[in-house]
Structure 1
Amino acid sequence: MLNTIKKDLKDYELLSILDNTELEEVISNFHRKQYKKGQVLFMDGDSRKRIYFLEKGYVRIEKSDLNDCYTYYDYIKPYLMFPFAGIFQDEYYQYTCEAVTDATVFYINVDVLEKLLSDNPKAMVYITKSLTRLLRLQECRVQKLSNQIASERVIQSVKYLAENLGSKKGNEIIIDCPLTAKDISNFSSTSRETVSHVLKQMKEDNIIQMKNKKTYIYNQNYFGDIHLHHHLVD
């Protein structure tokens, strides 16, 4: 069992930095758990006891402001560590996390992982670089989604989701995470009617299709340059 877990954990970029001895020291602290679609992994304000590594499926993190006027949404795909926000610092989770599909995760006690990372210079360099990448990504997202034109926010949201959730297959980009007009509406802070109109037009123009709980992007040029992000913590 432990050998199987060890092999699977090596697929995670952060944990692949550790040598066999370092990983052996903490392997017994990792646990595998399955969640059904709609199950909550943790709530905003819960004590931050675990760090998760997504193995299968997709989860969504979200956070509302005090007046419930704005909600931040983001999605996490397999082989990412989460939540990254608050590492080495926060006592409580800053987001609510929910499984949007059936999902399988590894989790480990926060104190155990943070000690392991702090004792490993290479891991700390990785954490620092990942924080920088994550900050740049979120800055870019804010810039693109601050557009006053609602339809443009929808287009930029689809592009962002393609870059962060999509995989290239032939000439297409496929987003395996199920997305609805409501999801994109929440993500882009745009009305569902506007999202439906923009998606309808893109489907008619054969730019994208949404079927079988997947989103297919046929015309990448429509969105400008799409750069797929394969490794990133969240």
Structure 2
Amino acid sequence: MITKEQYFYLRQLDDFKYLTIEQFDNIVNKIQYRTALKNHTLFFEGDHREKLFLIQSGYAKIEQTDASGSFIYTDYVRQDTIFPYGGLFFDDVYHFSAVAITDVGYFSLPMEVYETHALQNINQMKHLCRKYSKLLNVHEIKLRNMVTSSARMRVVQTLATLLLEVTTEEGRLPFPITTIEIANMSATTRETVSHVLKELRQKDIVELKYKTLFYNDKQYFKKFIE
């Protein structure tokens, strides 16, 4: 069961507000609220895709690996929105793992129930289409950025994409990040990331301090995400 406050919190979110009251209440009856500590895995790559998740507090990241066990894809989950959207109405398993990178409070709900009600509601389907379009736009930007041969530029563009995807608090990324994680996202080495960060720090554009990324000049990254 969820609280009255949680009920109204969920109702105003875009992922639910287009549903009828009857549809929403039917979903709410099956929603569970949980808390998890940092480094807890919400689900593993290859698990049966039976639940959708929504992070209310804290942050999580998604990871996908190749056959050797090396990370080949890393991304971060927005608060207040359902995930994973990829594979909705289609896939049977999760294609990546989701791990809490801070302590989190989250909701889980049955995938099948949400899909059934969404299919019966044209306004909800319009919302999902808009959501897919926005996600596609972000991934198109990422793909465009990754094809550049300049490792330095890939690092800068990765920092710009993070700024686009994640709401910063007081000019900083609201969760810890390491040079290794930035390197994985940029398809380059930790040494290259450190070199680029040093250069940007000298220009007072960004700073990575104790795993906290500060954006001192957000305007600098605008051209990389337009």
TM-score, length of structure 1 as denominator length: 0.88
Distance 1:67 1:135 in 2: 28
Sort the Cα spacing of 1:70 and 1:96 in 2 relative to 1 into closer, same or farther, 3 A. closer
Deviates more, 1:93-102 or 1:67-76: 67-76
Distance 2:71 2:3 in 1: 43
> Shift of the alpha carbon at 1:220?
2.5
Distance 1:80 1:57 in 2: 13
What SS class does the counterpart of residue 177 from structure 1 fall into?
coil
Structure 1, residues 152-204: CA drift from partner, whole Å, max 9, x if none? 110000000011113375xxx43212111111011111100010111112112
What amino acid is aligned across from residue 106 of structure 2 in structure 1? V
Distance 2:197 2:161 in 1: 15
What SS class does the counterpart of residue 174 from structure 1 fall into?
coil
After TM superposition, list the pairs within 5 Å mapping 1:28-67 onto structure 2.
28-67=29-68
Distance 1:95 1:15 in 2: 24
Sort the Cα spacing of 1:217 and 1:8 in 2 relative to 1 into closer, same or farther, 3 A. same
Tell me what 1:193 maps to: 191
After TM superposition, list the pairs within 5 Å mapping 1:84-233 onto structure 2.
84-167=85-168, 169=170, 173-211=171-209, 213-225=211-223
Sort the Cα spacing of 1:33 and 1:69 in 2 relative to 1 into closer, same or farther, 3 A. closer
TM-score, length of structure 2 as denominator length: 0.91
- Equivalent pair of 1:33/1:105 in contact (CA under 8 Å): yes
Unaligned runs of 5+ in 2: none
Deviates more, 1:17-26 or 1:86-95: 17-26
What amino acid is aligned across from residue 157 of structure 2 in structure 1? Q
> Shift of the alpha carbon at 1:4?
2.4
> Shift of the alpha carbon at 1:130?
1.3
Distance 2:134 2:109 in 1: 24
Distance 1:150 1:182 in 2: 14
> Shift of the alpha carbon at 1:223?
2.0
Report sequence identity in percent: 26
The number of residues matched between the two structures is: 225
- Equivalent pair of 1:46/1:92 in contact (CA under 8 Å): yes
Deviates more, 1:211-220 or 1:42-51: 211-220
Sort the Cα spacing of 1:94 and 1:210 in 2 relative to 1 into closer, same or farther, 3 A. same
Sort the Cα spacing of 1:11 and 1:202 in 2 relative to 1 into closer, same or farther, 3 A. farther
What amino acid is aligned across from residue 50 of structure 2 in structure 1? K
Sort the Cα spacing of 1:193 and 1:227 in 2 relative to 1 into closer, same or farther, 3 A. closer
